Chains A and B, each alone.
Chain A
């Protein structure tokens, strides 16, 4: 069954400042939409407003999931309706383990909490998160990469209809990014997950196949198109949209090279989309040097 997440004319303020000035997006089951934009364009606000994070005032428009008005619901009911937010900076919750948190979510959703430990273990293995992190307090003493893998594990266990990924690629080395992206693509294929990924970095698109790219500038979607739009942005930056900021591609080159080498040593290949990687080997700082 196909589902639809529909954002219509969404406007929102932080304090008295208008950040979102009328956003329209439609994400269907199985689709991957990527919203790109420079700093301060409203990317994180968009993800937070959809998920219901406190601190934002919606001043207009609608967000519906299969016609259900999400904006009138508290955050947990949005989640129960099938929405998942993977946070840019996952919050530390001292003393509360992943098992505790997801068991509570299962109980409130009428699912047997006894399933949680096995599901978690399976998901942790899929994204390469050490199982011992499952017993630790949520996000406490986890590195940036571990936190993002952890978010992806939760996504896998909860199995939402739609996932909003807020800069899921920031703070990730190339292996982690690949593992996370594969898991998300897997969910789009296996369970028809619809994805709205918000990113600052083009490199996410090297790993996550996008159906649609949207450019967010000053709270508005100013352009939408296929994957070619991202390549165009990479060469021209946001200048065409009146913003003097390049699209960041190589910010993490040094770290990525190290990670790439480590990945090769541990036997991780650069599989996935051979066409794309072959074509981009000379450009792509994340390509496996030994591939």
Chain B
């Protein structure tokens, strides 16, 4: 599971355990909070700040499920997280529909420290909610090992958006696990822009019949950054659907890895499972690996996977150039356009302008350091 990754460079001894992270909104994050607007609750450093909507229970000790029940067998870092974590639990009560998203901010600001946030989300039967997790830091050399477990009861609907804008020296080794009950509907969306080595392992288990899980990610690598994604779409219940779309671009000397597994277990008949990973390689020293895999133990299934790695299409660039657009601007337009189909599916539409602007800014930076 760790093939292709830089994880062997990780030196745990170089970090000390951090004190609980900030509990006020860091000024750097105000623009994104403004863009989100109304919310059902704001959680910073594991603590709710301000009012919490009815039907939403946030607590440090209201533990709906044992640690690891959703995440499954832990790898070394999930085990480490379990040992050192600050636990946050969120429960959306049965039948509750939260109109506005819950915003969870993790601000990693201790230089030389490690942080182990653990989030357990329980969407009870028929609940409908959205959670936006913002993982951010100033320019510090830190390690963050977030583990999020999402449990969706029968008929629950949950959208989970993670916006990772960590500083360029932060290591992230994250795990996101979801388990879906009957007819549950889950959407996970990762925006990965920051970090030095940024790893997200995302596993969705379709346990009950009729569940639907959509996994999306948009990433941009720059400098010597590495984005490392591992995904598992695990079908256990009958007539379940999963659909994955991960798209990203790597500039300069950055690197991305995508490893995706669709697993259809015996008995999961009527499964529909799709997986698409497309990568645009922008820099001479940039590199993208894409390794999709299928493991199917049932007959009556429909599965497909597609992956692509390639540079900017010369014809597209020429077309824009022939209109008088300089090549750097043309490239930026093409990359934004390439990412746009995943971008526009972001579950919080009011965030789109902020996302587009942030992406444009990052692309301009990527270009500025181009040799």
Are A104 and B337 also in contact (CB < 8 A) when A87-B319, A91-B319 are?
A: no
User: Given B324, B329, B334, B338, which contacts A79 in the complex, CB threshold below 8 Å?
Assistant: B324
Q: Contact check, B314 vs A93: say whether CB atoms are below 8 A apart.
A: no
Cα–Cα distance between A51 and B318 once the two chains are bound (Å): 9
**Least Cβ distance of B256 to chain A in Å?**
19
User: Given B316, B324, B327, which contacts A93 in the complex, CB threshold below 8 Å?
Assistant: B316
**Residue among B315, B321, B336 with max Cβ neighbours from chain A (10 Å):** B321
The interface bits of chain A over 70-90 (1 if a CB of B lies within 8 angstroms of the residue's CB, else 0) are 000011101110001101001
Residues in B with CB closer than 8 Å to A96 are 320, 333-334, 336-337
Cα–Cα distance between A275 and B336 once the two chains are bound (Å): 51
Q: Contact check, B322 vs A75: say whether CB atoms are below 8 A apart.
A: yes
Are A108 and B337 also in contact (CB < 8 A) when A91-B315, A91-B319 are?
A: no
**Residue among B324, B329, B337, B341 with max Cβ neighbours from chain A (10 Å):** B324
Cα–Cα distance between A96 and B339 once the two chains are bound (Å): 10
**Least Cβ distance of B321 to chain A in Å?**
4
Q: Contact check, B321 vs A138: say whether CB atoms are below 8 A apart.
A: no
**Least Cβ distance of A139 to chain B in Å?**
8
Residue of A nearest to B335 (CB): A95
The interface bits of chain A over 83-120 (1 if a CB of B lies within 8 angstroms of the residue's CB, else 0) are 01101001111111000111011011100000000000
Are A138 and B324 also in contact (CB < 8 A) when A96-B333, A96-B336 are?
A: no
Q: Contact check, B330 vs A104: say whether CB atoms are below 8 A apart.
A: yes
Q: Contact check, B323 vs A102: say whether CB atoms are below 8 A apart.
A: yes
**Least Cβ distance of B170 to chain A in Å?**
29
Cα–Cα distance between A102 and B320 once the two chains are bound (Å): 9
Q: Contact check, B319 vs A76: say whether CB atoms are below 8 A apart.
A: no
Are A108 and B319 also in contact (CB < 8 A) when A95-B337, A95-B341 are?
A: no
Q: Contact check, B319 vs A90: say whether CB atoms are below 8 A apart.
A: yes
Are A104 and B329 also in contact (CB < 8 A) when A95-B336, A95-B340, A158-B324 are?
A: yes
User: Given B323, B340, B341, which contacts A154 in the complex, CB threshold below 8 Å?
Assistant: B323
Interface band, chain A: 20 to 34
**Least Cβ distance of A101 to chain B in Å?**
6
Residues in B with CB closer than 8 Å to A51 are 322
Residues in A with CB closer than 8 Å to B314 are 54
Residue of A nearest to B344 (CB): A95
Cα–Cα distance between A94 and B304 once the two chains are bound (Å): 22
Cα–Cα distance between A100 and B360 once the two chains are bound (Å): 13
Cα–Cα distance between A271 and B329 once the two chains are bound (Å): 42
In the assembled complex, A53 has its CB within 8 A of some CB on chain B:
yes
**Least Cβ distance of A198 to chain B in Å?**
15
Q: Contact check, B333 vs A76: say whether CB atoms are below 8 A apart.
A: no
Cα–Cα distance between A52 and B327 once the two chains are bound (Å): 13
Q: Contact check, A91 vs B333: say whether CB atoms are below 8 A apart.
A: no
Residue of B nearest to A95 (CB): B337
Q: Contact check, A76 vs B324: say whether CB atoms are below 8 A apart.
A: yes
**Least Cβ distance of B106 to chain A in Å?**
31
In the assembled complex, B80 has its CB within 8 A of some CB on chain A:
no
In the assembled complex, B325 has its CB within 8 A of some CB on chain A:
yes
Cα–Cα distance between A158 and B322 once the two chains are bound (Å): 11
Cα–Cα distance between A101 and B325 once the two chains are bound (Å): 7
Q: Contact check, A75 vs B318: say whether CB atoms are below 8 A apart.
A: yes
Q: Contact check, B329 vs A108: say whether CB atoms are below 8 A apart.
A: yes
Q: Contact check, A104 vs B318: say whether CB atoms are below 8 A apart.
A: no
The interface bits of chain B over 17-46 (1 if a CB of A lies within 8 angstroms of the residue's CB, else 0) are 000000000000000000000000000000
Q: Contact check, B322 vs A79: say whether CB atoms are below 8 A apart.
A: yes
User: Given B318, B324, B327, which contacts A80 in the complex, CB threshold below 8 Å?
Assistant: B324
Q: Contact check, A105 vs B323: say whether CB atoms are below 8 A apart.
A: yes
Residues in A with CB closer than 8 Å to B334 are 93, 96
Residue of B nearest to A105 (CB): B324
**Residue among B313, B320, B322, B334 with max Cβ neighbours from chain A (10 Å):** B322
In the assembled complex, A227 has its CB within 8 A of some CB on chain B:
no
In the assembled complex, A144 has its CB within 8 A of some CB on chain B:
no
Cα–Cα distance between A94 and B316 once the two chains are bound (Å): 9
In the assembled complex, A137 has its CB within 8 A of some CB on chain B:
yes
Cα–Cα distance between A90 and B340 once the two chains are bound (Å): 21
Are A54 and B318 also in contact (CB < 8 A) when A76-B326, A109-B324 are?
A: yes
Cα–Cα distance between A85 and B315 once the two chains are bound (Å): 13
Q: Contact check, A74 vs B327: say whether CB atoms are below 8 A apart.
A: yes
Cα–Cα distance between A260 and B321 once the two chains are bound (Å): 36
15 A-B contacts, Cβ less than 8 Å apart? A52-B318, A52-B321, A52-B322, A75-B322, A76-B326, A84-B322, A84-B323, A93-B333, A94-B337, A96-B320, A96-B334, A101-B320, A104-B325, A108-B326, A154-B323
Given contacts A53-B322, A93-B334, A138-B319, 7 further A-B contacts (CB under 8 A): A53-B318, A54-B314, A76-B330, A93-B320, A93-B333, A94-B337, A158-B324
Residues of chain A whose beta carbon lies under 8 Å from any beta carbon of chain B: 51-54, 74-76, 78-80, 84-85, 87, 90-96, 100-102, 104-105, 107-109, 137-138, 154, 158
* Pairs A-B, 3 closest by C-beta atoms: A95-B337, A95-B340, A79-B324
